[in-house]
Amino acid sequence: MFVVRRLAVSFITLLLATFVVYVLVANAGDPLGDLRTDPSPNRDDKIRARIDDLNLDQSVPQRYVTWITGAGTCLVPGGGCDLGKNVRGQDVSTLVGQAASSTLRLVLIATILAIMVGIALGVVAALRQYSGLDYTTTFSAFLFYSLPVFAFAVLLKQYFAIRANDWLRDPRIDVSTALALAVLSGLAWGALLGGDRRRRWIVRGVAAVLTFGVLQYLSAVEWFRRPSLGPVLITVLAFAVAVGFAALLAGLQRRNVLYGALTMAAIGSVAQFAVIPFLEDRTWATWTNIALLGLLTIAVGVGVGWAFGGLDKGQAIRVASLTGLVTGGFMVVDIMLRSVPDYSRSQRGRVFATVGSNTPDFQGDFWQRMLDLSSHLVLPTISIMLVSMASYSRYARASMLEVLNQDYVRTARAKGLTERTVVVRHAFRNALIPLTTLAAIDFGAVIGGAVITEAVFAWRGMGRLFVEGLIQVDPNPVMGFFIVTSVAYVVFNMLADIAYAYLDPRIRIS
């Protein structure tokens, strides 16, 4: 009942909002502006044609009514969606469909990554309050908050893409760069793994030396020219991931979970010799097959987890499935890396793309197309991610700090639980509750949130619909943009409230 009432109120609010926006857009300038200064001989005909198309002879409220009745057909299932036509006569609903899929592709990945990394950083910063990592995270959060997205995107586009592409032509890392990177990596690992002074310095030293060694090896072998992961590396990574997940989610003392994860890693390492050729084959490389393989991995994970589970089968299943999926991910990465030389050749050496969402008229097999889409995604994703990440890490840190000061955490520690259990099983879950609502609301804002990034990287998404429509004083595409954006926003807001009530029993009762 509550949900229905909320929906009704939101619907009316939305209706009023559409009216406000329509009136504002229709008055935002002269729709015949560019035609008035047109020197061509059939200027008057063009003016008349446009007046006809956009119903400019009617008053603004009348045009609004025409539009809203058209938009109302969208609510009727089965009927077509008439959102009007834009200035060039194209149907707005098809335009919106294409634009929405393009924008979603861009923003979804960026948002998911931002959430995962941001929350991880925020939580670790909260656990190590007042440490170097904490100050660095807080300061960079401030910095990225204050950095306008367009400035950063322009910087990335010009600096990164051009410099990186140039570097790829002769991909060698000189010693000074390798040293600098090694030092940074050492600092990062030391900050992440924490511990007392001695342990931190050991971690820093080991990480720096290893990083330096790896970078020099990669440079000597010219790995960047023909990148790949290779069966050995995949196996090593699979086992490392298994140990990592087991340590994080269950604690290394729970041997059966660890053995389950290791078994999963072993299965994966053996399976790669079948899976990789299978997926590399043109005929078998499709999204459905990849999805099916993913499901198969989860099924095997369930089986292995159940077998090794012991008292807490759920935990074992989760760890095993995650290990399996991540190992599968490494296999996919390997295939894609091995397609890079061909792709680079077809792009004449410009691997990192800066314009558009994909290369137009691109001929290539599945993996080439995947690589093309990914290379066009890299820079815009980084631009969006950094600002989002700043916001998430701040909220995660604040939320985690608040939870860590609660009494029940102190009780848990007093009971003698390991720090890992206290943090992962108790504190983290409770800290996630307000973050979930934030993430839900953020997802709602996602589809309208990339206007500037799309403008800088020339993606044909929702942002372009909006900006072009506004500049040409054409309400229909702008309204199309607004309807989709606001409906998504309202729906996700409601989902956020429901999720909050579901996750936090105190809200339900009050």
Tell me the one-letter amino acid at 55.
N
Q: Which of 117, 373, 467, 491 binds another protein (CB under 8 A)?
A: 467
Q: Minimal distance in Å, beta carbon 482 to another protein?
A: 6
**In this structure, what DSSP letter does residue 459 have?**
-
Give yes or no for residue 298 binding another protein (CB under 8 A): no
Q: What's the closest the beta carbon of residue 475 comes to another protein, in angstroms?
A: 10
Contact between 212 and another protein by CB under 8 A: the answer reads no
Show Cβ contacts of residue 158 under 8 Å, excluding neighbours closer than 6 positions: none
Q: Please tell me what DSSP assigns to residue 170.
A: S
Q: What is the identity of the amino acid at 79?
A: G
Restricting to residues 470-499, name those near another protein by CB under 8 A. 470-471, 473, 478, 481-482, 485-486, 489-490
List 25, 83, 125, 404, residue binding another protein (CB under 8 A)? 25
Give yes or no for residue 145 binding another protein (CB under 8 A).
yes
Q: Is 458 in the site for another protein (CB under 8 A)?
A: no
The correct pick among 3, 7, 8, 29 for binding another protein (CB under 8 A) is 29
Residue 407: CB atoms within 10 A of its CB come to: 7
Please identify which residue in 7, 8, 16, 184 interacts with another protein, judged by CB under 8 A.
16
- Rounded Cα distance, 231 and 285, in Å: 20
Cβ neighbours, 10 Å, residue 487: 16
Residues numbered 423-452 forming contacts with another protein, rule: CB under 8 A: 445, 448-449, 451-452
Q: How far is the CB of 152 from another protein (least distance, A)?
A: 9
Query: Is 466 a residue that touches another protein (CB under 8 A)?
Result: yes
**Quick one: 471 or 507, whose CB is closer to another protein?**
471
**Angle CA(264)–CA(268)–CA(273) in degrees, nearest 5?**
160
Q: In the complex, what is the shortest distance from the CB of residue 489 to another protein, in angstroms, rounded to a whole number?
A: 7
> What is the footprint of another protein within residues 154-193 (CB under 8 A)?
154-155, 158, 162
* Count of residues that bind another protein according to CB under 8 A: 42
Report whether 265 contacts 239 (CB < 8 A): yes
Q: Rounded to whole angstroms, how far apart are CA atoms 338 and 105?
A: 24
Question: Amino acid letter at 399?
Answer: S
Among 45, 57, 132, 150, binds another protein (CB under 8 A): 150
Is residue 8 a contact point for another protein (CB under 8 A)?
A: no
Q: Are 84 and 92 in contact (CB under 8 A)?
A: yes
Min CB(147)–another protein separation in Å: 6
> Closest separation between CB of residue 442 and another protein, Å?
13
Q: What one-character-per-residue DSSP string does 45-80 give?
A: HHHHHHHHHHTTTS-HHHHHHHHHHHHHTTTSTTS-
Indicate the residue among 156 and 370 with the shorter CB distance to another protein. 156
Q: How far is the CB of 149 from another protein (least distance, A)?
A: 7
Q: How far is CA 226 from CA 169, 171, 221, 347, in A?
A: 12, 10, 9, 15
Nearest Cα to 380, choosing from 359, 354, 358, 351? 354
- Closest to another protein by CB, 13 or 62: 13
Cα distances (angstroms) measured from residue 440 to each of 5, 23, 116? 20, 30, 14
Q: 3-state class of 360 per DSSP?
A: coil
Interface contacts to another protein, rule CB under 8 A: 13-14, 16-17, 20-21, 24-25, 27-29, 142-143, 145-151, 154-155, 158, 162, 445, 448-449, 451-452, 455, 466-467, 470-471, 473, 478, 481-482, 485-486, 489-490
